[in-house]
A and B are shown apart, each in its own frame.
Chain A
Amino acid sequence: MKKILTSICLSLALICCFSLPAFAVGDGNIDGGGGGMGDGTSTNSWTPGNDGVRVTVVRASDHAVVTTPIDLTNKNPPSTLFHFGKVSKLSYSNDKGLSPQQGSYQYINPPQAIPRIVSTNGSNNIDAIKKYFCSEYTIKLISNHTGMDYDVLIGGDYKLLLEPFAFYKFEGVMIATTATEAALYDEQVSGLLRKRMTSLSHKNLPLAMFLEVGDLGYPAWSGSKTSTASNADIKSSLGLGIVRFQEQPEPPVVSAYDYEYRVNTEVITSVRVSGGQSDPDNPTRVSFTINGTTYNVGNIYYPSGDSQLAWVKWKTPATEQDMVIHVSVRGPGGTDKSIINCKIVDLNKNPPPNPIADDRNDSFQKNIVPQRAEKTRADWTVWSPWWREYWAWHGDDEDGYWCDHGWWEFDLNKYHASFSANMTIRCDSKNPTANGRIMKSGYGINQEVSASVSSNQSSAVTNPQNAVSYFPEFNYDTYWRLLEQVQSGSSARFEFQKNNYSTYKNRTHFSPVWMPDGSYEANTWVLDSWTPVGMLSANLTDSLTIRGSLWDDWHVAPLKP
């Protein structure tokens, strides 16, 4: 009680002494109208105004980064500054890692000063920021310094991605980070940045800008606008603004379900757990109720203020269905979802019909191979607690004893999975007139698909389990073949299923007899290697050359008398 009263008195005294609101963890560097936001020591501090905005020109249609990002700031940071180069949030979202460097930091000081970007009191300066970055003045400045033609830039096909950044002292070094970089760097130092600079790195910097409507693949932020954010939330949703030049932002992608799985497949379903601190003395456990079975998942730990993915590995049923997974939590944390909607599909229901020699398709036009979801690398992290001992001796030498007053510390372990796949099609072995990779239309093709996954946490990954092939004669859409897994495991192999229409019951697909001469390109999507952060998959193609048709191998002649 005495300690609590002392703390309250000290806090009141501090509030009276300083005019700046106490969003800072400490008070050591608040002077001259500025306010420190570090831990109040000379090694961890931030001076308000040491901020700026990174601007990246992005093509609206495919979210491609089309110019090197530029950093706008009112300040002149020292050459001892560490930074991570000119990398946009979009690139980090595509799994680019941090690449630190010291010095040679490039920046632009706009003659018309930028309004305050990162606040010190939790109330962001978004109206002034909007006015400044939507102005002709700033857009022209960005055009001049990115090399992007101004009229093209404002034509509607491009958008500006804005990211607030700050430069501050962390553990004795000056460093510049965007909000996304701060979250990534925090993971690199196992949460030390959050511990030292949380008010800046995990609150005022990421909350300086966020989206009101989803755009460029990032969602609108509907979480807390006043409390510290987790690294996962910062990376997915915070620390960004978007300037567009047409009235409507891109339409949101609405999905009726959270996961789409295939039947009879080992899959992983995950939720993010946050709230309080989860450690071995006060653990969080998550239960997934799937199809009447409850799976309990344990050893889910995270430090206060952060979060952790929790996942369950299970096998989907043998029949198509929509499925609801109920999630419940015991312990200090909560999940982002209590219900997960899954769609279980059977890809083996739509094989091509029996090809016949009289098939015709005079209006056929080749389509390009469509894009399908591809992901060949997945990265996730696991907070791992370890006990820091802190021994104190109680009592006399003779009757005394050592007592451990330690606590749980957390390391952030990084895991990844890499996925690779390859496909080869070749002329069917029963084709009498095939010549290498050239064949006549109407004959069959064989296929071999190999897929492998490797990971430094194999328990969090499932092996490649499915592959499905699409063909040009069906515009890579109407009919498809689910391949048969002929070798399971982390290095799996797939081939066509045995074809009922094949005289020899070969593993073959017949090209249509009407297929025009030229390239015959098959497309195979290899999928269902699951990780805690989604599915690994690859969209493959391979082609043979069609020259002539099966009819060329037959001729009509009068019978010998």
Chain B
Amino acid sequence: MKNINDRLKKWLLITGGLALSVVLVVAIMSQFKAPTINDLDLPEQNSSTQKVAVENPDITEKEDDIKVPPIQIQEESKTGNGIDKGTEQTIQPNPIKPEYTDEQLKNPDQKPNGEKVTEQDKPIEHSKVEKPNTPSKSDNQPQGGDVNSKGETYLPGFGWIKNSGENQGIVGESDGDINKQVGIMGN
């Protein structure tokens, strides 16, 4: 009986240990599970966030906002603003010198700036190119002294001006002595 009891004790210990292990494993595994109940409280917030994220109009507005800076820069360059902060300042925007690609520079059918090639544009050696005395005049641009249909005359820098009539010249009058000095000029 004593032997049976010992064997029984042994099996009971093994069985109890195994049962305890299973309980512990289940308990430990349960700790690694993702929370579920609390998450259920969030759907409303999540869904509203998702709505904002997918609404097309909102995205469009943001894209418009992003486009604003270049427009401002253009306005600044129009107004001639320089850099007025810090130790590196400028009195006006940087001047721009146009740049062209190799393809544009090697196209014999068209000048790099898009102008048409004329008969005057004959090949010429680099050292023989001379700067023209006066820039070519535009046919559409009125020249000084041009008279329009209203009889107005073109004054460079101001435009069309109407003649207001004959000059009024008179002969001066004086009975003073040209050899008598009454005024002082200089020291």
Residues of A within 8 A of B (CB): 43, 72, 76-82, 98, 100-112, 129-141, 144-145, 154, 160, 170-173, 175, 185, 188-189, 192, 212-213, 241-247, 280, 293-301, 308-313, 382, 384-397, 400-405, 407, 413, 415, 456-460, 532
Which stretch from B3-11, B14-22, B24-32, B93-101 is at the chain A interface? Answer: B93-101
Inter-chain contact A400/B108, CB cutoff 8 Å: yes
Contact pick for A212, options B84, B95, B100, B186, CB 8 Å: B186
Residues of B within 8 A of A (CB): 79-85, 87-98, 100, 104-108, 111-113, 115, 117, 121-126, 129, 131-132, 135, 143-145, 153-158, 161-187
Inter-chain contact A72/B172, CB cutoff 8 Å: yes
Inter-chain contact A110/B80, CB cutoff 8 Å: no
Complex A-B, nearest 5 residue pairs according to Cβ-Cβ distance, in ascending order = A171-B144, A140-B176, A141-B174, A172-B145, A136-B176
Can you pick out 17 interface pairs between chain A and chain B where the beta carbons lie within 8 Å of each other?
A: A76-B169, A101-B161, A104-B167, A109-B170, A130-B185, A133-B185, A138-B176, A170-B144, A171-B143, A171-B145, A171-B156, A212-B186, A245-B184, A311-B91, A384-B80, A393-B124, A394-B126
Q: Chain A contacts of B185 at CB under 8 A?
A: 129-130, 133-134, 241-244
- Distance (whole angstroms) from the CB of A516 to the closest CB of chain B: 48
Inter-chain contact B108/A134, CB cutoff 8 Å: no
Contact pick for A106, options B84, B163, B167, B186, CB 8 Å: B167
Contact pick for B167, options A77, A390, A393, CB 8 Å: A77
Contact pick for A394, options B125, B168, B172, CB 8 Å: B125
Distance A402 CA – B106 CA, assembled complex (angstroms)? 6
User: Contacts A145-B172, A389-B98: A103 and B177 contacting too (C-beta < 8 A)?
Assistant: no
Inter-chain contact B168/A105, CB cutoff 8 Å: yes
Distance A300 CA – B89 CA, assembled complex (angstroms)? 11
Q: Chain B contacts of A102 at CB under 8 A?
A: 153, 155, 161-164
Contact pick for A135, options B83, B117, B169, B179, CB 8 Å: B179
Complex: chain A residue closest to B162, CB-CB? A102
- Distance (whole angstroms) from the CB of A201 to the closest CB of chain B: 13
Inter-chain contact A141/B172, CB cutoff 8 Å: yes
Inter-chain contact A460/B176, CB cutoff 8 Å: no
Distance A510 CA – B164 CA, assembled complex (angstroms)? 60
Complex: chain B residue closest to A81, CB-CB? B167
User: Contacts A296-B88, A382-B80, A390-B132: A397 and B167 contacting too (C-beta < 8 A)?
Assistant: no
Q: Chain B contacts of A112 at CB under 8 A?
A: 174, 178
- Distance (whole angstroms) from the CB of B174 to the closest CB of chain A: 4
Q: Chain A contacts of B168 at CB under 8 A?
A: 104-107
Inter-chain contact B89/A297, CB cutoff 8 Å: yes
- Distance (whole angstroms) from the CB of A250 to the closest CB of chain B: 13
Q: Chain B contacts of A386 at CB under 8 A?
A: 95-96
Distance A407 CA – B131 CA, assembled complex (angstroms)? 9
Q: Chain A contacts of B98 at CB under 8 A?
A: 387, 389
Complex: chain B residue closest to A211, CB-CB? B186
Distance A145 CA – B91 CA, assembled complex (angstroms)? 48
New A-B contacts (8) at CB < 8 Å, excluding given A138-B178, A160-B183: A101-B161, A102-B153, A102-B162, A137-B178, A390-B132, A394-B126, A403-B126, A456-B79
- Distance (whole angstroms) from the CB of B91 to the closest CB of chain A: 6
Inter-chain contact A298/B97, CB cutoff 8 Å: no
Q: Chain B contacts of A295 at CB under 8 A?
A: 87-89
Most buried by B among A103, A395, A396, A405: A103
Inter-chain contact A130/B124, CB cutoff 8 Å: no
Inter-chain contact B95/A301, CB cutoff 8 Å: yes
Inter-chain contact B163/A80, CB cutoff 8 Å: yes
Inter-chain contact B95/A43, CB cutoff 8 Å: no
Inter-chain contact B183/A139, CB cutoff 8 Å: yes
Q: Chain A contacts of B166 at CB under 8 A?
A: 79, 103-104
User: Contacts A137-B174, A173-B155: A460 and B90 contacting too (C-beta < 8 A)?
Assistant: no
- Distance (whole angstroms) from the CB of B101 to the closest CB of chain A: 11
Distance A185 CA – B176 CA, assembled complex (angstroms)? 37
Distance A309 CA – B92 CA, assembled complex (angstroms)? 11
User: Contacts A171-B143, A385-B95: A391 and B115 contacting too (C-beta < 8 A)?
Assistant: yes
Inter-chain contact B79/A384, CB cutoff 8 Å: no
Inter-chain contact A297/B92, CB cutoff 8 Å: no
Distance A245 CA – B183 CA, assembled complex (angstroms)? 5
Distance A185 CA – B155 CA, assembled complex (angstroms)? 11
Inter-chain contact A393/B121, CB cutoff 8 Å: yes
